[in-house]
Chains A and B, each alone.
Chain A
Amino acid sequence: MKVLVPVKRVVDANVKVRVKPDNSGVDLNNVKMAVNPFCEIAIEEAVRLKEAGSASEVIAVSVGAGNCQEQLRTCLALGADRAILVETDVDPQPLGIAKALAALQEKEGAELVIFGKQSIDGDNAQTGQMFAALTGMSQATFASEVKVGDGKLEVTREIDGGLQTLSIKLPAVVTTDLRLNEPRYASLPNIMKAKKKPLDVISPADLGVDLTPTVEVLSVEPPAEREAGIIVETVEELVDKLKNEAKVIS
């Protein structure tokens, strides 16, 4: 089973981001970048499938600028077999990315495509679903457990109030939730091997897709600052405030 794992380069989750003064976006100057944490979980899942003998090849793919190669190398060090960068100067949006990946899937014919459920920059949570629609593949989103069966997958999803288990036919699209697995640290020998693994760079034109954004960002604003809380002395005071100030109980 060939497994394709799309990954995104995003601001490192440890970085405290700031909105640019002109509200055009987030300031990325001097900021450390990393593999989107949900995509890291996707890579980990694919590598585990390979180690378990269910997957034959793991391919990491990214759509973005040339520096996304750094994140693809990380994926190779984590155990992916090869990597593909669809290089573009435009800041790609979910639909464009899904189209590029769908065109790539046409060539690669992967049986399983594992996406992160969302990337922590735009928090769109759309790309996997759009890709499934474009390719007509079955999909199971927000997976917290994946079991490979004969020609199908059993996927557990975390939903409000419980767990849902789906059985879907391969070829399939899965998007990962946070609790699917705990990604490993790349080992020294695998880091040393990563450089020798193939990393192909292709252009959107090679795939016949146009990545021109279809959504225009008008303004990016930081979330409103929370007002400082207070410490109440007694339960009576708390009940009084909930009743009369917050008006959440009556």
Chain B
Amino acid sequence: MDLSLTEEQELIVGNVRRFVREEIVPRELNLDPDADELPPDDKAALVDKTRAMGLYGLDIPVEYGGPDIDLVTRTLIAMEMSQHRAGLYAPCYGTFGGAGLAQLFEATEAQKEKYLYPTLRGEKRGFFGLTEPSGGSDPARAIQTRAVRDGGEWIINGGKIFISGADRAQYGLVFARTSPDKGRNGVTCFIVDTDTPGFKVQRVVHTLRSAHYATELTFTDMRVPHANILGAENRGFAIANDRLSRQRIPYAAGCIGVAIKAHEMALEYVPDRETFGAPLSTRQAVQWMLVDNEIDIRQARWLTLDAAHRAQQGLDFRKEAAMAKLVATEAASRVVDRCMQMFGGYGVTKDFPFERWYREMRIRRIGEGPSEVQRHIIARDLLGAGLR
């Protein structure tokens, strides 16, 4: 079993690391500490560079023109791309290309023309609308938004909460109940244009995240053509579940990148900072924080690469992705917290990225399924039929 990176992986990862340090970090120093976008000219210049590197469109499958690299390498790249202040929710400020909503790759050709390709070209943005006020942990049961058929159209009534970026989107995926008595097999996924009458961004929901606002949406007699169903009627949940599992891997990787950077900054800082006549690095209390950081990062990293490897091999990876998400988000939260502690008062200032990481990292233990739900998924998998 060879756990080392290939020469190609070393070179690709080294390239992205250099890009983050030489292109992203210096520009970020001139931005507001809560910014989530680069000035358009800067962004365009950097996109030219990622295109020349052959890494533009990282989230796009090869058959749609994305770079020809496997999921493990993509995961390694994701661990590099988040190593800057805005890295958790705006990795490299989108200079490696916009992420298409993964489900759209399952769309019909006409739907792809209208939504997927413009998104990949960076002309349209979409949102993912699953969570409702009635609960996000178990959306299959909780979804109350109703869609009722009327000839060639569906009439949708209800609402969503915590939907990221719907205020800046041209369309989105809306999950609605189409067969009330069929539970998880009664939910359908609709592609909805945000200019459809009856669609409303009720408000921006302010959270402790600076980047990419969450929003609350309401739908009032919103008419959506039958042709806008993604996948099949009553089969929306298969789509949601697949996306949620797949998404957990880069989600974990982003957290690990931030932890790696925070840890690196602490390792550099403690030999120089003196208290009581000796550098912090000589104190066992500080050394153990560094040791715990190192171990936290390593275990999260291997679990995440293992999940990516299994997904790449076409093996079942649902449990592994849940473990990676659970461990990486919790480990990275601890690492950022310890680093903040070692930097003392400076750790909580906006002169350093820790405070932003600290705030935004807190969401990672809730978003994409809270820690408890990940444990629930893992337990279900372990017990299988033994769980009656």
Interface residues, chain A, with chain B CB atoms under 8 Å away: 14, 16, 18, 34, 70, 73-74, 77, 184-189, 191-192, 194-195
Contacts and interface: CB of A to CB of B under 8 A. Distances in A.
B31 interface: no
Nearest to B268: A16
Interface of B: 7-8, 10-12, 14-15, 18-19, 21, 49, 52-55, 67-69, 268, 271
Please list the 3 inter-chain residue pairs (A to B) with the smallest Cβ-Cβ separation, ordered nearest first: A188-B54, A187-B54, A185-B53
Contact of B15 (A18, A185, A189): A185
Contacts of A195: 7-8
Contacts of A74: 11, 14
A184 B11 contact: no
A192 B7 CA distance: 9
B52 A184 contact: yes
B12 A188 contact: yes
A13 to B, nearest CB: 10
A26 B68 CA distance: 40
A73 B11 CA distance: 8
Nearest to B9: A191
28 contacts: A14-B21, A16-B268, A18-B271, A34-B14, A70-B10, A73-B7, A73-B10, A73-B11, A74-B14, A184-B52, A185-B19, A185-B49, A185-B52, A186-B11, A187-B52, A187-B53, A187-B54, A188-B53, A188-B55, A188-B67, A188-B68, A189-B54, A191-B8, A191-B11, A191-B12, A192-B8, A194-B11, A195-B8
Contacts of A186: 11, 15, 53
A18 B271 CA distance: 10
Contacts, number: 44
Given A73-B7, A194-B7, 8 more contacts: A70-B7, A73-B11, A74-B11, A186-B15, A188-B54, A191-B15, A192-B68, A195-B7
B333 to A, nearest CB: 25
A64 B67 CA distance: 34
Contacts of A191: 8, 11-12, 15
A154 to B, nearest CB: 28
A187 B53 CA distance: 4
Nearest to B54: A188
A70 B14 CA distance: 11
Contacts of B15: 185-186, 191
A77 B6 CA distance: 14
B83 to A, nearest CB: 11
B10 to A, nearest CB: 7
Nearest to A35: B14
A70 B6 CA distance: 11
B69 A188 contact: yes
A144 to B, nearest CB: 20
A70 B68 CA distance: 22
A189 B53 CA distance: 9
Contacts of B21: 14
Contacts of A73: 7, 10-11
Contacts of A187: 52-54
Given A16-B268, A18-B271, A185 B11 contact: no
A77 B8 CA distance: 9
Contacts of A77: 11
A187 B15 CA distance: 9
Nearest to A225: B272
Contacts of A185: 15, 18-19, 49, 52-53
Contacts of B67: 188
Contacts of B11: 73-74, 77, 186, 191, 194
A188 B268 CA distance: 32
Nearest to B50: A185
Nearest to A15: B268
A7 B19 CA distance: 21
A17 to B, nearest CB: 11
